[in-house]
Amino acid sequence: MTRVGDLLVKEPSSRTILTRKHVIDLDDFAVDEIEYVFSVTDAMKEIVGRDIKKAPSLRGKTIVTLFYQPSTRTRVSFEQAAKILNADVINVSEGSSSVAKGEALINTVETLQALAADVVIVRHPHAGVPNMLARNLERMGVINAGDGMHAHPTQALVDLYTLRNHMGSLAGKKIVIVGDILHSRVVRSNLWGLVKMGAEVTLCGPPAFLPLSEAFTQIGGGNAKNSQVRIETSLEVALDGADAVMALRVQSENHGRGGITNIREYIRLYQLDARRIQIAKPDAIIMHPGPVQEGIEVTTAVARGSQSVISEQVTNGVAVRMALLYLAIVRNEATQ
Ligand code: CP
């Protein structure tokens, strides 16, 4: 057992890596490690549910959020997670850092390291930035809060944790992800996790929103012939027998909505509405990593209906990120 604050968390049975300084994507997470993150998250959830939401695990530690793109859920939940664990939090944005005066990003982040920050949480429009920082920093940990169209591992862990809480094992479960697959970093990280956990994934959307099938079916070690990942353009076909349906935001800023004929056509063919969700299993859960554009990806009635777990995903985001901060700082130091 491991002590997390005043709670005990069961260690996994195998010799999984239980420490990691950086979280860049889920490709290098073993299943045991994901399950261990979830065990720690369960303990963190207990702390979040207390009247006084405080635990001393990160007292004296400093977390920096460095966001070069807008965010509500990810930035605020990391800040809340850090504060519940008693860390000091410094928020830096593009406009408030010296990058605006021409400083290279690596120099900005090395400056944060020299100022004794323990972990930097980075969101950046360019894929690969968190990985580049992790390779060049000597001491400070890096957590990827979304890089370009590449990855959003903490959101994927939130989604996997929410799925696991509703259906237990994901082995053989049919998960449909519908929407702007091509531009989504959330879907790429989710695919790594879902495939590792044994789920059957159907990616659905208009052809302009779908990637080349080979590139995606190879995520998780599959191949075009023998893969847990399927691509489908008909939402009605995709939804048949689904255990969970996740809608993705139409990323208008990335294609001016020009990648599809028009938004009304998208709504007609791909919006999750009361009629369509009946094609899935009766107890199927409806998910969305956010931000949600109600009336486009999903009707208001479905987004706020009894099958929706969208606000639960947001709530789980705090405990999952508490677990990741704890593992990146406390566990990591304990084994050095
Ligand atoms: N899901 C997500 O990344 O939301 P934010 O952009 O609000 O952080």
Cβ of 253 closer than 6 Å to ligand 1, yes or no, is: no
Taking a C-beta distance cutoff of 8 angstroms, is the pair 117, 92 a contact?
Answer: no
Q: How far is CA 153 from CA 214, 308, 333, in A?
A: 22, 22, 22
Cβ of 71 closer than 6 Å to ligand 1, yes or no, is: yes
pTM score over 0.85: yes
Provide the pLDDT for residue 330. 82
Distance 286 CA to ligand 1 centre (A): 17
- How high is the mean pLDDT in each 10-residue block of the chain (336 residues)? 68 63 94 94 96 94 96 97 97 82 91 95 97 95 97 98 97 96 94 94 91 64 65 96 96 62 88 98 98 96 98 98 93 68
Q: Which of 231, 227, 226 is nearest to 213 (CA)?
A: 231
Angle (CA) 329-140-83 rounded to 5° is: 50
Find tokens 């950046």 and name the residue: 124
Taking a C-beta distance cutoff of 8 angstroms, is the pair 11, 18 a contact?
Answer: yes
Take residue 142 and report the two structure tokens written for it.
């890096």
Cβ of 153 closer than 6 Å to ligand 1, yes or no, is: no
Residue with CA at minimum distance from ligand 1 atom 6:
71
Cβ of 155 closer than 6 Å to ligand 1, yes or no, is: yes
Provide the pLDDT for residue 120. 98
Antiparallel, parallel or unpaired: β 229-232 and 200-204:
parallel
Ligand 1 closest atom vs CA 145: 3
Residue 273 backbone class (left: φ over 0; alpha: ψ -120 to 50; beta: rest)? beta
Cβ of 123 closer than 6 Å to ligand 1, yes or no, is: no
Burial annotation 136-165 (CB, 10 A radius, 16+ → b, else e)? ebeebbbbbbbbebbbbbbbbbbbbbbbbb
Nearest 5°: phi and psi at 144? -80, 120
